[in-house]
Structure 1
Amino acid sequence: MKMYIVEDDDNIINILERIIEDKNLGQIVGKSNDGKKGLEEILLLKPDIVLVDLLMPGMDGISLTRKVKALEPNIQYIMISQVSSKDMIAKAYESGIEYYISKPINAIEVETVIKKVKEKMNMKQKLDTIQSLFSEESNGHEIKSKEKEEIDNYIEGVKQVMRKIGVAGEVGSQDIIDIAKYLIETNQTTSNFTIKELCSRFTDNPKTMEQRIRRTATVGLINLANIGIEDNINEIFVEYSNGLYNFEQVKIEMDYIRGKTKKRGRVNIKKFLDGIVYYGKRL
């Protein structure tokens, strides 16, 4: 995993380098003390992860991230700052920075955050690989190699995720579990189906089932938005706001709750279902 550091304090850079190397967290391919130089080198080196200071001379971390994000959307960002303003951190999240390391630097926090970013990237890579494999095969034949006990464990993991985001008791929770179980048993993703096709496997009224699922997923979105307003570095918020939903939609919902907009956040059901299956298998 290639990493690049943009930080105006050489001592912080040295500390981060030691932690990353000692913990075997990745390979540092470059570093810079100002945003303008960092922008040029990041576009040239194309690292997987950029650790960027929020406040720097020349070009701040938020501006740098926005510029790079427009050209290299797959690069992940970790903000380094001692700024505690929630408004400032919210602006950083809006620019595409999803993870946060506070100053003074703590080795355990650095290791934990970098591992979370790597897990997120691995999840996306696995989902992309699965989708690619099944698009090449004919009609996604069912794969029944998993033992029942393993599948049951995965489904229990799905239920745990639903409890974490506060939707376990919602009317559409069983519908979500049914589809998750089917996807796990057949080793498929939602890319092989329309939502109507998936729901039709369980009911003669797929539209109603889809509406139940959407309402349930929307409750989870609202719950995460409220968590983010209270604490936008909360572990559940950071983990699931971009893993189950589009973070920009979570942010819109946060702004709606704050009274800043009349728009509501929207749910991508396919992303939600694929994400909940992925996290269910991890727990």
Structure 2
Amino acid sequence: MAVEGKSEQKKLLIVGCGDIGNGLAELYLPQGWAVQGLRRNTAKLAPGITALAADVCDPASVAALGPLRADYVVVTLTPGGNKAEAYEAVFERGLANVLAAIAVPPKHIFFVSSTGVYAQANHDIIDETSETAPDRFSGRSLLNAEQAIAATAWSHSNIRFGGIYGSGRFFMLNKVLEGDCAPPQPLHYTNRIHRDDCVGFIAHLIDKAEAGGKLENCYVGVDDEAASIQDVQAWLAVQLGVTYASKGEPIARTGSKRCVNRRLRESGYTLKYPTFRDGFEPVLRAWRASTAKA
């Protein structure tokens, strides 16, 4: 017999539950939500998450879990390598396996995508309405995944995050320390968002949907300042007390573009770290603490 007045427990399924997924779980578990984390190595799940051990690239592995059901689904997948085959395996075939296993359409599904779906490279200003014609295999697979999510006709949001930093990620600091900064020219704009704002923004959207608010099908998830990589690394060099030095190789990984977060702001979300300077301060503190112990 149901207890009168007792609300049904909300369910959150996080597919590819890594750093961002664990961060979400830490927000919703204390609220009494049931949180499921689907990944191959479930030992890395935060305490309290119900483990679903499966390899999304293996249809039999996903099918063995049985029908998947949740009020909200967050898909945050990571490829097994930086090759086209790895991206296709996870973001195309793997995602298809997961979508096929979802028994009932969720209230909303969130797909963590990337600004890599944009190929613009001439300092263009980019928002959700800009053309998506990726010229790299990674962007093409991510765009295919976005389209697969949209093709379900479920209520959904594809979130195109910029480069994620923070939370003990010292890659950029190490580049500066090693004298491997970008050369002063050509100027190359980059886009980023702190890990805590990735978690915070997804949670904001979940809460907004739960309250009956309208969500957009697509968001650009970046901070307020599309700064050049030269400005970022020059500022870090000052903070680290080293000389800005370059080995002469320009940025070749992505095109120079300036992404704007208008929809993120209009959704009502307030960034914890609105600029790279705000966001790198705690990263620098963590780095200093780690070197002091060494």
Q: TM-score, normalised by structure 2?
A: 0.24
Bigger helix fraction: 1
Bigger strand fraction: 2
* Higher RCO (C-alpha 8 Å, min separation 6): 2
Q: TM-score, normalised by structure 1?
A: 0.25
